[in-house]
Amino acid sequence: DASSADIRKAYRKLSLTLHPDKNKDENAETQFRQLVAIYEVLKDDERRQRYDDILINGLPDWRQPVFYYRRVRKMSNAELALLLFIILTVGHYAVVWSIYLEKQLDELLSRKKREKKKKTGSKSVDISKLGASEKNERELMKPQWHDLLPCKLGIWFCLTLKALPHLLQDAGQFYAKYKETRLKEKEDALTRAEYETLQKQKKVKVKKPKPEFPVYMPLESAYIQSYDHGTSIEEIEEQMDDWLENRNRTQKKQV
């Protein structure tokens, strides 16, 4: 029922007396650590309430999950690994048994259905189906000790060791093929580069002449005959034809 101020005062007094520098007892360090731990519990309201609850109700028993949590926290890594391995083994064996029982139940139900069909005689049962069902019943085996997880792991490890030389050989062959493909790719790239350089050297760049478009220049010496308005259309067409022929000749001579 003490207040936080009273607890603080008591802690200061006891720390002066129980400090290892002033306390000459052999267990001075442990006493001082216990004092600090007690103060850490009592100064916090939540921890203090938990402590009071433990004083009234006691420590948690095996029926509470806190009990197992505290036990697991104290275990080392090797102990935790062993516990996990045991749990996985038991779980795997339980799963194997559940699969076996489920198959057995299915076989029992199918057998009862077949017996009912035989008694009623409403539908004819196929001989092939009966043979397959009998074969499944024979193949259905109870789980054995070699179905446990450690045995399965051991068998898998032995098989991997046996197959390891073949795996290494296959890996070596794959690596050799990979090297060959890489070398071929490099050689192809070099040959392509050489071929491209040779083609570039063979090709000589020739500057193409720019196209010169003809420019119309009026002829100073060209004389266009005037025609009278009273002339006919045929005479005008003949004069135009003569003029066009003369212009074309002069242009060809200039070119």
- What is the pLDDT at residue 217? 62
Question: Is residue 128's pLDDT more than 80?
Answer: no
> pLDDT of 175-225, one tens digit each?
999 999 999 999 999 898 888 888 877 765 556 666 555 555 655 555 555
Dihedral over alpha carbons 98, 99, 100, 103 (to 10 degrees): 120
CA-wise closest residue to 89 among 158, 141, 156, 151: 151
Q: What is the pTM of this model?
A: 0.35
Average pLDDT score, the chain = 79
- Residue 39: predicted pLDDT: 93
Are the C-beta atoms of 35 and 16 separated by less than 8 Å? no
Q: Are the CB atoms for 93 and 143 separated by under 8 Å?
A: yes
Share of the chain above pLDDT 70, in %: 79
> Whose structure tokens read 């420590």?
59
pLDDT in tens, 55-69: 887 776 767 777 777
d(CA 190, CA 94): 64
